[in-house]
Amino acid sequence: MEKQGVAVQLDPTLARGLNYYTGIIFEMKAPAGVNIGSIGGGGRYDNLTGLFGVPNVPGVGISFGVDRIYDVLEELNLFPPALQSGTRVLFFNLGTQESASAFEQLQLLRQQGIACELFPENVKFDKQFKYAEKKKIQYIVIIGEKELQEKTATIKNLATGNQLTVPVNALQQEILFS
């Protein structure tokens, strides 16, 4: 393994799961300089399956801490800067009728492959804005009472601060091509 750049270290004092490991155990650590400890581990167990009604089946198992691996990748700044897998558009929740209209538009955008969501409750603008900023959502869409009457939607690009009001039937094109 060392030929492939994987550092291997023997530690006879290492202990894991003393109640079921019966042989060799192993542990994977984060790279030097990252103070997180183990990111995975496992080992040999001869009798573990007996706890589940299948006696005398030896085995070797391993598990990884996905949340720990994520933290290591984040600390080492290994995620691509342009990685955007989350919500791109947040529709504000401004009441029952407004949310119903927003939900219709949300479904149309999702059909175009755009990740979007409707804020789950009708609360003050400030709370919804903070949520969008925290999640680094690119656009917010507001369909309030006035927009319902005028059949429009207000789009705000949170990165640039630009805001415009468009006919609700042009919302898809505006988001897709911006």
pTM, full prediction = 0.56
* 111 lies in some domain: yes
Q: State the CATH number of the domain containing residue 108.
A: 3.40.50.800
Query: In which residue are the tokens 């479904």 written?
Result: 107
Residues 170 and 125 in one domain: yes
pLDDT for the residue numbered 7: 82
* 10 lies in some domain: yes
Residues 24 and 97 in one domain: no
Are 154 and 104 within 8 A, CB to CB?
no
* 119 lies in some domain: yes
pLDDT for the residue numbered 100: 96
Are 102 and 91 within 8 A, CB to CB?
yes
Query: In which residue are the tokens 């705000």 written?
Result: 156
Residues 30 and 59 in one domain: yes
CA distance 141 to 166: 10
pLDDT for the residue numbered 72: 92
Burial 89-114 (b: 16+ CB within 10 A, else e): bbbbbbeeebbebbeebbebbeeeeb
Q: What residue numbers bound the domain in which 28 lies?
A: 2-75
Final residue before a domain boundary, out of 33, 51, 75: 75
Residues 96 and 67 in one domain: no
Residues 107 and 149 in one domain: yes
* 81 lies in some domain: no
pLDDT for the residue numbered 85: 66
Full pLDDT tens readout for the chain, 178 residues: 778 878 888 888 888 777 778 888 989 999 888 988 889 999 998 888 888 899 989 999 899 999 999 999 989 988 876 665 689 999 999 999 999 999 999 999 999 889 999 999 999 999 999 999 989 899 999 999 999 999 999 999 998 999 999 999 888 888 877 6
Beta-carbon neighbour count of residue 73 at 10 Å?
Answer: 13
Final residue before a domain boundary, out of 75, 101, 123: 75
* 82 lies in some domain: no
Residues 66 and 107 in one domain: no
Question: Exposed, middle or buried: residue 33 (CB in 10 Å: 0-12, 13-18, 19+)?
Answer: exposed
